[in-house]
A and B are shown apart, each in its own frame.
Chain A
């Protein structure tokens, strides 16, 4: 039943896309049909033409995400458990969160150069802010009853943090991690398109645009969507394992 429900949305989009293309409601040159697009995607994948691009994009995304994870979670936990310090940083976090990451490209290019470092850095920067905010929020809004119960057992501040606050914050932290992961993929693709690189799905989209390979553009866009979806699905699976109690 769940699988059926899950297929309804994509099926409707597919049918709509098919009829728009079939009756040429949008010029077929600019919107090829779904079958042609999928065929193009399969051809691109099995010819090995996209292999390097897929690997490059995924590696950049993972590097950026891991960096933001290692900076964002400890910092978020620290700020969340020190309310005064968080309040003094809140403006900065919200300020930088509100700046579109694309506006920071020139700055990161100056600092990190035009290689992979600048792409990874800009994605990690944006994701770190999301993770910090959500982790700190998770700690600050954790249920106090458990911490009080443990305090009465004689737990030290460190024990209370390690054994209670950290765990209490996990559901909100995971919301931040999922958002950050999606954001990382988006920023990596955009930086590949505009900062310049030898490989990557973003670069491939731009290349196809230059040569008017519209089917290719749609095929790669579809592929980035599939990668994003799969990464998210893996993350949801992990989330259910780690915070199994959440929602129960």
Chain B
């Protein structure tokens, strides 16, 4: 399998606080990876370093064939990343406007995204007129509109009730099955990690080390019945045990 992202001996500190000392791991192309660990273990910091939003102190990383046009980062604070002066439609198509795509391409893309994400909100209204969950859905749709082959998602389900959470997980899988992008998702929820990812990287408290990388070979789409299966509970147990070891609980 081709390597999509490789991180080698990464080091990062914020003032006195050392986040990573010597972090190394690889992610293969088409992997759906969940980063799971305690608060402050640097999960968001890794995504920010990889997307060049912050500088590393030392070490190396490489993202194969990186292009802005094929990359998306869905932030945790979705409210602050949507543009309140643009309506929901303009927000969703914004990346395509930046990339100067034609009206025809934009029209096709929005139709497809509306279909995949089953967006029923009034696209002529503004983000502030929507509920938190609907805003999160708009942020998600914007993240997928450019059909990214590399996708970073930071706690995507935080504002959603359980029903919409499951629905968005389904939409995310639909996209993943169709386009096979490489996805790095940060979550604090073991169920989300075990449900969605085919690889779960468990971080320790900082200075962060990788405690374990758990493979989940279950086929996609993983529906609700998977959440009730023995395999799901087995993976959840593995994650919990690894987390317990890292968090000294």
A residues bordering B, Cβ < 8 Å?
A: 143, 145-146, 148-155, 159, 163-164, 167, 170, 243-245, 248
Contact = CB atoms under 8 A, between A and B. Distances in A.
Contacts, number: 51
Interface residues of B, number: 23
A143 B80 contact: yes
Report which residue of B68, B84, B94, B146 has the largest number of chain A beta carbons within 10 angstroms of its beta carbon: B84
Contacts of A163: 83, 98
A245 B83 CA distance: 10
Contacts of A152: 51, 53, 68, 71-73
Interface of B: 51, 53, 67-69, 71-73, 75, 77, 80-81, 83-85, 94-95, 98-99, 126, 128-129, 146
A148 B76 CA distance: 13
Instruction: Label chain A's interface by main secondary structure.
Output: helix
Nearest to A164: B83
Report which residue of A151, A152, A159, A163 has the largest number of chain B beta carbons within 10 angstroms of its beta carbon: A152
> Top 6 A-B pairs ranked by shortest CB distance?
A154-B68, A245-B84, A248-B128, A145-B80, A149-B81, A153-B95
16 contacts: A143-B80, A145-B80, A146-B80, A152-B51, A152-B53, A152-B68, A153-B95, A154-B68, A159-B98, A167-B83, A167-B85, A243-B85, A244-B85, A244-B126, A245-B84, A245-B126
A145 B77 contact: yes
B215 to A, nearest CB: 29
Report which residue of A149, A163, A164 has the largest number of chain B beta carbons within 10 angstroms of its beta carbon: A149
Given A153-B99, A154-B69, A146 B81 contact: yes
B68 A153 contact: yes
Contacts of A145: 75, 77, 80-81
Given A145-B77, A164-B83, A167-B85, A150 B98 contact: yes
B51 A154 contact: no
Contacts of A154: 67-69, 98-99
A243 B83 CA distance: 12
B132 to A, nearest CB: 14
A164 B204 CA distance: 37
Given A150-B94, A153-B98, 18 more contacts: A145-B81, A146-B83, A149-B81, A151-B53, A152-B51, A152-B72, A152-B73, A153-B94, A154-B68, A154-B99, A155-B98, A164-B83, A243-B85, A245-B85, A245-B126, A245-B128, A248-B126, A248-B128
A155 B67 CA distance: 12
Contacts of B51: 152
A146 to B, nearest CB: 6
B55 to A, nearest CB: 14
B20 to A, nearest CB: 21
Report which residue of B98, B128, B146 has the largest number of chain A beta carbons within 10 angstroms of its beta carbon: B98
Contacts of A159: 98
A248 B130 CA distance: 11
Contacts of A167: 83, 85
A162 to B, nearest CB: 11
Contacts of B71: 152
B99 A248 contact: no
